[in-house]
Structure 1
Amino acid sequence: MSRDSGGAPPRRLALLGGGFSTDDDGLLDDWLLGHVRGPRPKVCFVPTASGDASAYTEKFLDAFGTRECEPSVLSLFRRELGDEALRAFLLSQDVVYVGGGNTANLLAVWRVHGVDRLMREAYERGTLLCGISAGANCWAEGSHTDSFGPLTYLADGLGLLPGSVCPHYDGEPGRRDSYRAAVAGGVLPAGWAVEDGVGALFADGRLVEAVTRRPEARLYRVQAGAGDEAHERALDCRVLRA
Structure 2
Amino acid sequence: MSRKRWAALKRRLSKAPDILQPALTLVRESADAFPPLKSATGGAVHVLQLRKTRKDTCKDWETLANEARERATIMDQDNFRADQLQEEAAKYKAFLQEIQEAAQTSRRRLKGLKGFLHIETEKGTLDHYSKELQKKREDFRAIQAVSNVQNVQEGISVIHEEVGTIHEGLGTIQEGVMNIEEIMKKIQILSDKTNNDIQELSRKTSNEITGIYLTLSRPKDQIMNLYRWDLLFF
Shorter-normalised TM range? under 0.3
| Greater percentage in strand | 1
| Greater percentage in helix | 2
TM-score normalized by the length of structure 1: 0.19
TM-score normalized by the length of structure 2: 0.20
